[in-house]
Structure 1
């Protein structure tokens, strides 16, 4: 029966999330440390963090046509996941090469890794939209992200311990190879996900923009997303350099600082998801856009370990709101056949902003007065503050659901319960049981 297939698919998506978290925990916090261990310079770090988003943004232009040609979102996701696993094995093999060639191998592998991962997102989102009822989406994805977040933190901690006990390139190689195995597990679980034969979720044959009344809200949203990603990635590649080289932290305190915010983000996504379900994604995004500029300013106040952990906890709260706000906003705008296109446009814009920001930061880093990293933080904060302007001025709260419901701020700070929150825990089970498809 279809219900059983959907139930199996939701369970498989949770297992895929766990495998993804294991992979990501072994890789994401340690890309820059791996490059530093290979002898990469600051400009090389800027290139490492800018080239992959550029490739990913260009690839997104062809993502919808690739899904249409394959005729299956699931097949497209599995192909991307397989490419991502192969890239991790290639990165692990970089240690066998001479220093200069090793860095180029790592950079090329991370470009494929980032590109394939970003390409997998839109068709995966389109497929998941067929399983989860609209009023449960924020709760379910938040619940899934909680599980993913705890696993990610555990994997990052294990990786830090490995690097502490076995410092050197071989430890990085082993971690990246293990991450590739985790991604192969994802490939297996995604293969168990059901794809409706109706094809309603697939991109339409026409290649022109979808004529939807809510498209006017999409343009300022994407403008703000680009501005946020540009300003964030202006300094993002150098947080690792600042902690490991400037402050001299070991891998364990480095891991705690770099993953504390991500853990909080994942843990609070369920809460923010239910708030977005109840009060609308526009309100959640506005609050997130207001909090994002504060993060680099707080980083600049003090270099102490305890303070930076607290800053990252605050950062996790804000980015959780941003993540679930953008997720729900796109689902609210896009119909079933438009999900791949809208998510691809979002991915293209975000990756382009990341590339432009990282490239600009890399070009500026060695020429900034005073402490270059601190100067980048202040520039980043100013640009983040400006990022809200397109969204604030041109996206109306009444354009999407939840705008008129009172009590949003009380719910956001935890002093008000959310009507649908008690139902969030069994969200995966309820999403499989009900066939409320768009």
Structure 2
């Protein structure tokens, strides 16, 4: 009979494989939702809703995660049921093209269900993986797990883009391309669910401490480190999503990129994040989440502003590379900060509130962006104004909240300049070669790896 350590070791291995297949689903399917909406001739308001409403409704569903967990009495059951049903939602998406004049609204309805089923399991999954990963290795584990998942996401994204380019002769042929990539997404999610079923789920008890009300959570938010992180991410995401739904239509409509060029430009961010996640993960473990959030949080606002200055293809690729570099650090720092600032007993309900509030901010941001795009005529492209506003709001959010966040772990001290220099100089050499070597070594010796 296997001991607990052996079960955990195998579970962390299965979690890497689950994460890889999950990201294959995203690469084949979810990444092309906006492109599919453009193909269906969605309006700018509809594009704004597609970029925000499903995530908002999905995040609101997390208010019921704790209640479902009490009924099912197992994080694994909740996660696996949600993952399986989420995969099945690709079936109606394959045929939404044939749903007549209301097909865009049907598409929005189906992806709302897709996000509900995917997000309702989120707090349970985060709590589950948090109990499996060694506290001192979270950054390294999640960085390496993201690296593998990111590579799979990159490859699946390229394959999907190639398929769409090959099936680009006329609407009916294009639709067949979308049917094929959505089918591949469905298969990927089923395989992800299979490996979720193989993982070990340590005993988890729901206590009174884990049932804090949303009102009480909001009241203590300004004096609590996790509460401040939540307020920061809500404000930031409002600014991010004023622009986020409109990069795809900007590339496909205003810049007239075909699916091949759209895929290449979009894939640059994925591959850079895939390379750098382990590097940033090690930096987070050594120097703390606050330091990495500070560096990336003040460099990330520039991204939407840079889109205004040129539409040269090589320039766009450089922007995407910069975006992947910054977002890799920001995402892994924010993710680890959640674990650092919550206890296992509170983690499910706190992550649920975190996602609910961020979902509302995302919805309001995208809705505001949709109206700005529809009614402004200030620049050559109607999207430029939302890019500029997004830059200003992102920077304001970082300026207000990052100084208030505290580092909760004992970490080494380093200046911001030295930290950035360390990541940049590690990236092209040791960051790639060293991590390929040490992944094999740590994997054999029973230590861990992650997904975002």
Fold shared, TM-score > 0.5 on shorter chain:
yes
Match of 1:322 among 330, 338, 341: 330
Shift of 1:227: 1.4
Structure 1 residues 153 and 378: alpha-carbon distance in aligned structure 2, compared to 1, 3 A threshold = same
Structure 1 partner of 2:211: 207
Supply the distance in 2 between the matched residues of 1:127 and 1:355 (Cα, whole angstroms).
28
Structure 1 partner of 2:398: 388
Structure 2 partner of 1:178: 184
Supply the distance in 1 between the matched residues of 2:162 and 2:319 (Cα, whole angstroms).
23
Supply the distance in 1 between the matched residues of 2:125 and 2:370 (Cα, whole angstroms).
33
Q: Give yes or no for the alignment of 1:76 onto 2:47.
A: no
Equivalent pair of 2:211/2:349 in contact (CA under 8 Å): no
- The root-mean-square deviation of aligned C-alpha atoms, in Å, is 2.6
Structure 1 residues 12 and 368: alpha-carbon distance in aligned structure 2, compared to 1, 3 A threshold = same
Match of 1:376 among 386, 389, 414: 386
* Paired residues for 1:305-316 under 5 Å: 305-316=313-324
* Paired residues for 1:106-125 under 5 Å: 106-125=107-126
Equivalent pair of 1:225/1:349 in contact (CA under 8 Å): no
Structure 2 partner of 1:52: 54
Q: Deviations over 1:150-171 (max 9, x none)?
A: 1111101111111111121111
Shift of 1:207: 1.7
Structure 1 residues 433 and 117: alpha-carbon distance in aligned structure 2, compared to 1, 3 A threshold = closer
* Paired residues for 1:11-410 under 5 Å: 11-98=13-100, 100-167=101-168, 168-197=174-203, 199=204, 204=208, 207-208=211-212, 216-370=224-378, 371-396=381-406, 399-402=407-410, 405-406=413-414, 409-410=417-418
Equivalent pair of 1:56/1:116 in contact (CA under 8 Å): yes
Q: Secondary structure at the match of 1:249?
A: coil
Supply the distance in 2 between the matched residues of 1:21 and 1:346 (Cα, whole angstroms).
22
| Worse overlay, 114-123 or 237-246 | 114-123
Structure 1 partner of 2:171: none
Supply the distance in 1 between the matched residues of 2:252 and 2:334 (Cα, whole angstroms).
32
Structure 2: any 5+ residue segments left out of the alignment? 169-173, 428-433
Structure 1 partner of 2:431: none
Q: Secondary structure at the match of 1:383?
A: helix
Structure 1 residues 424 and 358: alpha-carbon distance in aligned structure 2, compared to 1, 3 A threshold = farther
Supply the distance in 2 between the matched residues of 1:409 and 1:135 (Cα, whole angstroms).
25
Supply the distance in 2 between the matched residues of 1:113 and 1:410 (Cα, whole angstroms).
43
Equivalent pair of 1:142/1:272 in contact (CA under 8 Å): yes
**Scaled by the length of structure 1, what TM-score is found?**
0.91
| Worse overlay, 17-26 or 345-354 | 345-354
Structure 1 residues 294 and 206: alpha-carbon distance in aligned structure 2, compared to 1, 3 A threshold = closer
Q: Deviations over 1:238-262 (max 9, x none)?
A: 1111111111111011011122112
**Scaled by the length of structure 2, what TM-score is found?**
0.88
Poorly superposed stretches of 4+, deviation over 4 Å: 202-206, 209-215, 415-418, 421-424, 426-434
| Worse overlay, 27-36 or 234-243 | 27-36
Q: Secondary structure at the match of 1:227?
A: helix
Equivalent pair of 1:55/1:111 in contact (CA under 8 Å): yes
The number of aligned residues is 428
Equivalent pair of 1:18/1:148 in contact (CA under 8 Å): yes
Equivalent pair of 2:53/2:112 in contact (CA under 8 Å): yes
Structure 1 residues 214 and 131: alpha-carbon distance in aligned structure 2, compared to 1, 3 A threshold = farther
Structure 1 residues 213 and 170: alpha-carbon distance in aligned structure 2, compared to 1, 3 A threshold = closer
